[in-house]
Amino acid sequence: PPDVDQLGRSTWTLLHSITGAYPASPSPTLQSETSTFIRTFAKLYPCWVCADDFQAWMRRPGNAPRVSSRDEFGRWMCDAHNAVNEKLGKERFDCARWEERWRTGWRD
Please report, as ranges, the residues that interact with ligand FAD according to CB under 6 A: 4-5, 8-9, 11-12, 16, 45, 49-50, 53-54, 78, 81-82, 84-85, 88, 90, 93, 98, 101
Q: In this chain, which residue has its C-beta nearest to ligand FAD?
A: 8
Q: Which residue type is seen at 104?
A: T
Closer to ligand FAD at the Cβ: 9 or 43? Answer: 9
Of 32 and 90, CB closest to ligand FAD: 90
Q: Which of 80, 107, 108 is nearest to 93 (CA)?
A: 80
CB 58, min distance to ligand FAD, A = 10
Minimum distance from residue 27 beta carbon to ligand FAD (Å): 25
Alpha carbons 8 and 11: distance in angstroms, whole number: 5
CA–CA gap between residue 31 and residue 86 (Å, rounded): 28
Q: Which is nearer to ligand FAD, 29 or 49 (CB)?
A: 49
Task: Quote the least distance from Cβ 12 to ligand FAD, whole Å.
Answer: 5
22 Cβ contact partners less than 8 Å away, ≥ 6 residues apart: 34, 67, 69, 70, 73, 74
Residue 12: name the closest of 67, 54, 58 by CA: 54
Q: Which is nearer to ligand FAD, 24 or 96 (CB)?
A: 96
